[in-house]
Structure 1
Amino acid sequence: MLGNPGYVEVTDWEWLRVKNRYRGCCAYCGKRTPRPHMDHVVPLARGGRHAPANVVPACAACNVSKFKFFLVEWRLRQRRTTVEVAELGV
């Protein structure tokens, strides 16, 4: 993260504010998550900044599956997977 050109430190206080904004829930699925991951909405790998305005709390499942995708890409992949599973009757 330190090599990120737009790096801005996210202090513990700022991270707490972000988590409180989401009331202890994942920003993506809404499930309560006691130990949220700090996810970058615009992924660092895609030019996003490590800054308070670009981080949200995410449960482990959402954070891992979102990977380096933009939110819209990730949502489309989820829909596609859901449709494929439904078509298979799984």
Structure 2
Amino acid sequence: MAAVENDLTPEQWEALRGAWGGCAYCQSSATAMQRDCVQPISRGGRYTLANVVPACASCNASKHNDEVTAWLRRKKLDERVFLLRHATILGALLPAEDNGSEPADLT
């Protein structure tokens, strides 16, 4: 873990939490969110803005280090909805990071 680049800032995490409004996978907002790597660290992922989503403890533990789309299918969660929303949120947040402006309001 120490060798892995982990550059997600607290401000980026808050922007991600606000943009998703709950668990990126099951949409629950009833519990505290944990940082989950879409591509697990064990598969080359990192804690970065482009790779982290908020996840409830149940989804985070269930996904563990699985590949996200196969896990979503196995759990009977909507893979397409997740992928489109992930791309939309990143599209709004990543350009803001590149040009130093404030992140877009996704609410």
TM over 0.5: yes
- Contact 1:29 1:62 (8 Å CA) reproduced: yes
Asked which structure has the greater CA Rg, the reply is 1
Give the distance between the partners of 2:17 and 2:45, measured in 1 at CA.
Answer: 19
The aligned counterpart of 2:51 is: 54
Distance 1:29 1:39, change over 3 A: same
Q: In 2, Cα distance between the equivalents of 1:71 and 1:39? A: 10
- Unmatched segments (≥5 aa) in structure 1: 80-90
Q: Deviation above 4 Å: which 4+ runs of structure 1? A: none
Asked if the contact 1:26–1:33 (Cα under 8 Å) also holds between the matched residues in 2, the reply is no
Identity of aligned residues (%): 37
Q: Normalised by the size of structure 1, how large is the TM-score?
A: 0.76
List gaps (5 residues or longer) in structure 2.
77-107
Q: Note the aligned Cα RMSD (angstroms).
A: 1.4
Query: How big is the shift at 1:34?
Result: 4.1
Tell me the number of residue pairs that the alignment of Structure 1 and Structure 2 aligns: 76
Does residue 21 of structure 1 match 2:11?
A: no
